[in-house]
């Protein structure tokens, strides 16, 4: 296991995206680094030192998930979020909790695939373009009796090779020249709208049986997929879209999936992070969810996974020994001490996240690298409109968000999203037709646009 970043460096990176919650940021960074420290020890020593997972307590929308998700991004770790309450639903059985590890393996495979696709991109694009040239200037299909005879002989001898189109295609000098010129035009982007017909694999439809098998740890579509040839259909598309599909197909051919799966499993085992939300709702102390699958039962099912066990996935067995688990919940009606003792022991690091203040909201709107305001500014920029917010307007938005949270449900920073959407609806709708190079959102605009909604409680609940 490699660990390129120290806890301090991790916190510095988290600071770019998350406002406040300093203690939580520090603790996740330490926990992550401790996992690396433990992996450096001898196997026997490792067994004696149990991994230290984290329990985050705090109201909704204050950054619990965001911290964990960002942490994973920063260290390029596969990440999944599950709701613990999902496992209390009727229809779930003990084994299902293992699905969180399967999902992690899946996430790791997707990450590795993305990296590999990036690595082979240049080659895949080149091959895709070569195919496009052939599709745009097809060769002459040879109705060659000899070759039909050969095919027949091959089939009789059990040697099926139905994909020998190229062999029966004649390429004259003229075609060769045409292809050269088309290759040039393609490179210059002149043929992007021309239609071509390509073969694409049809994705199998989801079926309920598959879902059931999935819950039992089997993946029907991949089982069947391995046995049956994938169904191909012909589609006619513009070159620009066809190229994307061909690149995808070529990339898949260029990637060695056996080693990709191995790498992905290694990554999930060594770097994986599983975020278990609503863990407070599976305690005996919580009064909700009664009459469903026993909450303590779910805790007992989760325990072996957190303690370290091996879960079979369709990519191979995954050991959970080094996976970092982050439990989170509001813990409003229950306490961490309501969890079964064994589970409490597996989550020894406890952090509380604070409710967000009006000042925090101002910072959340402005400061993070991809803050909400920056997102809207970027969106409008696509229409070549410069969107400007005055400081007073930003303060007003934060104040309204804070007030609405106090007056109705406190949903934390999520309130900012609904408020901004309402505030900017006219700008988003009319902006492109307004022929304005610049739109400034002032405090007055915020007040006028939102006042009606705020003063009417029913409207507030519905819209904001
Ligand atoms: N402290 C913060 N700094 C920056 N953004 C935040 C902060 N807290 C919340 N947000 C924003 O609000 C959204 C919701 O936060 P998050 O998903 O972390 O909630 P949570 O605390 O995990 O609550 P829940 O348990 O209900 O999921 C995030 O997408 C993020 O953009």
The tens digit of pLDDT for each residue in 34-72 reads 888 887 888 888 877 877 899 999 999 999 999 999 999
Separation of 39 CA from ligand 1 center, angstroms? 31
Virtual CA dihedral for 428, 431, 433, 436, nearest 10 degrees? Answer: -170
Instruction: Indicate whether residue 85 lines ligand 1 (CB < 6 A).
Output: no
Same domain, 180 and 226: yes
Separation of 364 CA from ligand 1 center, angstroms? 10
Long-range contacts of 185-193 (CB under 8 A, 24+ apart): 186/129, 186/132, 186/133, 186/136, 186/239, 187/129, 191/136, 191/239, 192/238, 192/239, 192/240, 193/238, 193/239, 193/240
Instruction: Indicate whether residue 412 lines ligand 1 (CB < 6 A).
Output: yes
On the question of pLDDT at 461 being above 90, the answer is: no
- Containing H/E element for 245? helix 239-254
Q: How many domains does the chain have?
A: 3
What's the average model confidence in pLDDT over 168-192? 86
**Which residue's alpha carbon is nearest to atom 18 within ligand 1?**
63
**Contact by Cβ (8 Å): 216, 95:** yes
Per-residue pLDDT, 210:
47
Same domain, 92 and 127: no
**Contact by Cβ (8 Å): 238, 195:** yes
User: Which residue in this structure is represented by tokens 């000042």?
Assistant: 359
Q: What is the CATH number of the domain that holds 363?
A: 1.10.8.60
Instruction: Indicate whether residue 20 lines ligand 1 (CB < 6 A).
Output: yes
In a domain, residue 462? The reply is no
Per-residue pLDDT, 262:
95
Same domain, 431 and 373: yes
Same domain, 438 and 373: yes
Separation of 12 CA from ligand 1 center, angstroms? 18
CA 294 to chain CA centroid, nearest Å: 30
Q: Which domain holds residue 192?
A: 121-254
Work out the pLDDT band at 126, boundaries 50, 70, 90.
Answer: very high
Instruction: Indicate whether residue 65 lines ligand 1 (CB < 6 A).
Output: yes
Per-residue pLDDT, 36:
82
In a domain, residue 161? The reply is yes
Atom of ligand 1 nearest to the CA of 68: 18
Work out the pLDDT band at 158, boundaries 50, 70, 90.
Answer: low
Residue 344 phi, psi (nearest 5): -55, -45
Instruction: Indicate whether residue 15 lines ligand 1 (CB < 6 A).
Output: no
Instruction: Indicate whether residue 329 lines ligand 1 (CB < 6 A).
Output: no
Known binding residues: 19, 61-66, 277, 342, 414
pTM for the whole structure: 0.81
Work out the pLDDT band at 202, boundaries 50, 70, 90.
Answer: confident
Which ipTM value was assigned to this complex? 0.97
**Which residue's alpha carbon is nearest to atom 24 within ligand 1?**
60
User: Mean pLDDT of all residues in the chain?
Assistant: 84
In a domain, residue 460? The reply is no
Residue 19, phi-psi category: left (phi > 0), alpha (psi -120 to 50), beta (remainder):
beta
Same domain, 285 and 394: no
Of residues 80 and 369, more confidently modeled: 80
Separation of 437 CA from ligand 1 center, angstroms? 33
End of a domain among 254, 278, 306?
Answer: 254
Instruction: Indicate whether residue 62 lines ligand 1 (CB < 6 A).
Output: yes
The string of pLDDT tens digits covering residues 388-419 is: 999 999 999 999 999 888 888 889 999 999 89
Separation of 118 CA from ligand 1 center, angstroms? 30
End of a domain among 211, 228, 254?
Answer: 254
With the most atoms of ligand 1 within 8 angstroms of its CB, the residue from 66, 280, 332 to mutate is: 66
Same domain, 238 and 137: yes
In a domain, residue 152? The reply is yes
Same domain, 249 and 184: yes
Atom of ligand 1 nearest to the CA of 411: 26
Q: What is the CATH number of the domain that holds 75?
A: 3.40.50.300
Instruction: Indicate whether residue 18 lines ligand 1 (CB < 6 A).
Output: yes
Separation of 62 CA from ligand 1 center, angstroms? 5
In a domain, residue 322? The reply is yes
Same domain, 82 and 160: no
Same domain, 104 and 211: no
End of a domain among 336, 352, 368?
Answer: 352
In a domain, residue 437? The reply is yes
Atom of ligand 1 nearest to the CA of 364: 4
Per-residue pLDDT, 432:
77
Of residues 240 and 92, more confidently modeled: 240
Per-residue pLDDT, 361:
95
Known binding residues for ATP: 19, 61-66, 277, 342, 414
With the most atoms of ligand 1 within 8 angstroms of its CB, the residue from 11, 61, 331 to mutate is: 61
Same domain, 344 and 363: no
User: Strand, coil or helix: what is 381?
Assistant: helix
In a domain, residue 331? The reply is yes
**Hey, what are 229's tokens?**
């040839």
Instruction: Indicate whether residue 413 lines ligand 1 (CB < 6 A).
Output: yes
Same domain, 342 and 446: no
On the question of pLDDT at 344 being above 70, the answer is: yes
Separation of 67 CA from ligand 1 center, angstroms? 8
On the question of pLDDT at 364 being above 90, the answer is: yes
In a domain, residue 208? The reply is yes
Separation of 120 CA from ligand 1 center, angstroms? 36
Separation of 53 CA from ligand 1 center, angstroms? 20
**Which residue's alpha carbon is nearest to atom 12 within ligand 1?**
413
On the question of pLDDT at 285 being above 70, the answer is: no
Separation of 412 CA from ligand 1 center, angstroms? 7
Per-residue pLDDT, 360:
94
Instruction: Indicate whether residue 14 lines ligand 1 (CB < 6 A).
Output: no
Work out the pLDDT band at 93, boundaries 50, 70, 90.
Answer: low
Same domain, 275 and 235: no
């Amino acid at each position: 296991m490699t660990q390129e970043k120290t806890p301090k460096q991790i916190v510095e990176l988290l600071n770019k995206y998350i406002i406040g919650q300093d203690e939580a940021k520090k603790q996740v960074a330490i926990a992550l680094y401790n996992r690396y420290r433990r992996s450096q020890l001898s196997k026997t020593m490792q067994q004696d030192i149990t991994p230290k997972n984290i329990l985050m307590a705090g109201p909704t929308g204050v950054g619990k998930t965001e911290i964990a998700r960002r942490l994973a991004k920063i260290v390029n770790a596969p990440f999944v979020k599950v709701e613990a309450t999902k496992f209390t639903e009727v229809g779930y059985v003990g084994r299902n909790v293992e699905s969180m590890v399967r999902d992690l393996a899946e996430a790791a495979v997707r990450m590795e695939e993305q990296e590999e696709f990036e690595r082979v991109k240049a080659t895949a694009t080149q091959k895709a373009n070569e195919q496009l040239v052939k599709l745009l200037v097809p060769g002459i299909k040879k109705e060659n009796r000899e070759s039909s005879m050969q095919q027949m002989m091959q089939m009789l001898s059990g040697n099926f090779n139905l994909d020998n189109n190229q062999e029966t295609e004649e390429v004259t000098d003229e075609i060769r020249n045409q292809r050269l010129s088309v290759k040039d035009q393609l490179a210059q982007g002149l043929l992007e709208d021309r239609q071509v017909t390509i073969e694409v694999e049809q994705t199998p439809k989801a079926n309920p049986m598959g879902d059931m098998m999935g819950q039992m740890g089997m993946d029907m579509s991949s089982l069947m997929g391995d046995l049956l040839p994938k169904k191909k259909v012909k589609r006619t598309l513009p070159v620009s879209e066809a190229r994307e599909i061909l690149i995808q197909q070529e990339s898949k051919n260029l990637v060695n999936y056996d080693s990709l799966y191995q790498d992905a499993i290694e990554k999930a085992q060594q770097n994986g992070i599983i975020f278990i939300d609503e863990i407070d709702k599976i305690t005996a102390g919580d009064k909700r969810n009664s009459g469903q699958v026993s909450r303590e039962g779910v805790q007992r099912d989760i325990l072996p996974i957190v303690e370290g066990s091996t879960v079979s996935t369709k990519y191979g067995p995954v050991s959970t020994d080094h996976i970092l688990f982050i439990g989170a919940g509001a813990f409003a009606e229950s306490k961490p001490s309501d969890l079964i003792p064994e589970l409490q022991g597996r989550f020894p690091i406890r952090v509380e996240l604070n409710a967000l203040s009006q000042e925090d909201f101002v910072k959340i709107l402005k400061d993070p690298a991809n803050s909400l305001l920056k997102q809207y500014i970027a969106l409008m920029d696509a229409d070549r409109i410069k969107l400007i917010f005055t400081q007073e307007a930003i303060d007003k938005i934060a104040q309204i968000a804070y007030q609405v949270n106090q007056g109705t449900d406190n949903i934390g920073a999520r309130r900012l999203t609904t408020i901004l959407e309402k505030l900017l609806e006219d700008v988003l709708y009319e902006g492109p037709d307004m022929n304005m190079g610049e739109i400034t959102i002032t405090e007055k605009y915020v007040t006028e646009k939102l006042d009606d909604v705020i003063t009417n409680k029913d409207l507030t609940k519905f819209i904001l």
